[in-house]
Structure 1
Amino acid sequence: MNAPPPPPPYVMLNGQGTQSGNYAPPPPPPHRRNVPCYNSDYYPKKSGRSGCLRCICCCYCILFLLIFIFAALALYFYIVYQPKMPSYKVKGLDLKSFDLLPDFSLNTAFLVSVEAENPNKGIGFTYEPGSSVIVEYTDTTLCTGALPSFHQGPKNTTMIRIELKGKSEFGSGLQQALQDSESKGKIPLLVRIQVPVRIVLGDFSTRQIHVFVNCSLVVDNLAPGKKIGILSNTYKFHFQL
């Protein structure tokens, strides 16, 4: 007879294994968790970031402090000095020559009287070289000149006399327009003034600013040696730093 087969090394009972003989199943491997390794140099340090924030905050604080100081100085200046704009008025216009030449050019000489009034107390003005005065008729320049350089103190009114001379093209169309205006007794002229000025506060002088004055006049005649009457005038002012 054949011999029976050897018994198995283990049998299963209720889903669990029991050892039989010398064989033992290997234990299950332990559950391990791989923790990634990070390089500390990859991320910026907190100390450097906080240092940048402190620097930005310090800059903003300095900026706000400067704005506050300038605002306080401007308020003090306004309360103490109460600044007002100076005024300029054309008070007189004398025609010295108005000669039409055969080549249709016009030689003109004017004497313009300008009243400059400084209503401020404690504030003066220094009128510097580089000014210009222009008299125009219907966008045609008749003559040019310049204001004298002088200092105007507080609460002062100064009368300035300006000599203007020029030669301009004066065609038949312009002559006819001028004759029509003279017949009506209303001749429109434009006096443009540009002057560099410094504001003076005691011993302190500001940087140079440019004052522009446009004076639109209507006069009754342009006859040499005859008194010119100013029928109306309109002024426009603006400044440029």
Structure 2
Amino acid sequence: MADHQRIHPVQDPEAAVPPRPTAPLVSRGSSHSERGDPEASRNNNNNYPPYQRTIPYSYSKPPKKRSCFKKCLCWTLCLVILQIILIGILAAIIFFVFRPKLPKYSVDSMSITQFNLNNDNSLYATFNVNITARNPNKKIGIYYENGSRLRVYFQGTELCEGSLPKFYQGHRNTTVMNVNLTGQTQDAAGLLQSLQAQQQTGNVPLNLRARVPVRVKLGGLKLMKWKFLVRCRLNVDSLAQDNTIRIRDSSCKFRFRL
């Protein structure tokens, strides 16, 4: 018996592959999450407050406002420092350009024309003093102004006073001045006794003080008024009327101020 030919159905290869979907599985506008439905998770999270991260911060202090007093103090200090600097610069210029030197004074001789005690215990004294003033500067002149006062003291008591003449002393000039001093001392009986006891030793200490207003001339520039203060210590042999006093030794100190 002949075998019947068997026919097996063959699948079409194109029919075996399912057709690709033309529409997306998830509609546009919807969200996709691997953890599930975002709407469901969002609804579940609505029961709990959202987590917020807190960042620590420090409170900064507000800037302090400077008071008017501190500002004025700072400005005043700045101005004072500036003035000191300017004065220092000016002093340096004067020193290196003019080479200033202090004037020198000496008491050369002294005589007494009147020195007696009256019935009312008042002492009258008239002195005549020769004073030498030296200006050693090459470029600086000195104007001696009115208003000077020259006094003679014994043990702190003023015996007489006078004034220096007004004149101009040029560069490297030496001037000798003859000054008359007069004075009256009340209740001088005790003073005269102390003076007589001192004369027995042959050494009578006297103090001569002078205050002289001057103007210094630097080249062609005339500066403001200054005051020369001169103090001289004298030791004389005696104080007797109509007698030339012999000066044993003397020393003078000089300083000035505005």
TM-score strictly above 0.5: yes
The unaligned stretches of length 5 or more in structure 2 are 1-42, 56-61, 64-73
Q: What residue is the counterpart of 2:199 in the other structure?
A: 182
CA displacement at 1:234 relative to structure 2: 2.1
Q: TM-score, normalised by structure 1?
A: 0.72
Change (3 A) 1:179 1:77: same
- Output the CA distance in 2 between the equivalents of 1:214 and 1:127: 17
Q: What residue is the counterpart of 2:143 in the other structure?
A: 126
- Output the CA distance in 2 between the equivalents of 1:98 and 1:212: 27
Change (3 A) 1:196 1:65: closer
CA displacement at 1:155 relative to structure 2: 0.4
Calculate the aligned-residue CA RMSD, in Å. Answer: 2.9
Opposite residue 114 of structure 1, the aligned amino acid is: I
CA displacement at 1:231 relative to structure 2: 0.4
- Output the CA distance in 2 between the equivalents of 1:194 and 1:228: 24
Q: What residue is the counterpart of 2:177 in the other structure?
A: 160
Q: Which has the larger radius of gyration?
A: 2
The unaligned stretches of length 5 or more in structure 1 are 1-23, 36-42, 45-55
- Output the CA distance in 2 between the equivalents of 1:73 and 1:240: 17
Q: Tell me, yes or no, if structure 1 residue 31 matches structure 2 residue 48.
A: no
SS in 2 for 1:154: coil
- Output the CA distance in 2 between the equivalents of 1:148 and 1:136: 21
Counterpart pick for 1:199 among 216, 225, 229: 216
SS in 1 for 2:147: coil
Q: Tell me, yes or no, if structure 1 residue 220 matches structure 2 residue 240.
A: no
Q: TM-score, normalised by structure 2?
A: 0.68
Percent of paired sites with the same residue: 38
Aligned length: 199
Asked if the contact 2:116/2:241 (under 8 Å) is kept, the reply is no
Q: What residue is the counterpart of 2:225 in the other structure?
A: 208
Equivalent residues in 2 for 1:88-103, closer than 5 Å: 88-103=105-120
Change (3 A) 1:170 1:229: farther
Change (3 A) 1:71 1:190: closer
Q: What residue is the counterpart of 2:166 in the other structure?
A: 149
Asked if the contact 2:214/2:226 (under 8 Å) is kept, the reply is yes
| 1:115-144 deviation line (CA, Å, top 9, x unaligned) | 000000010111111110111111111111
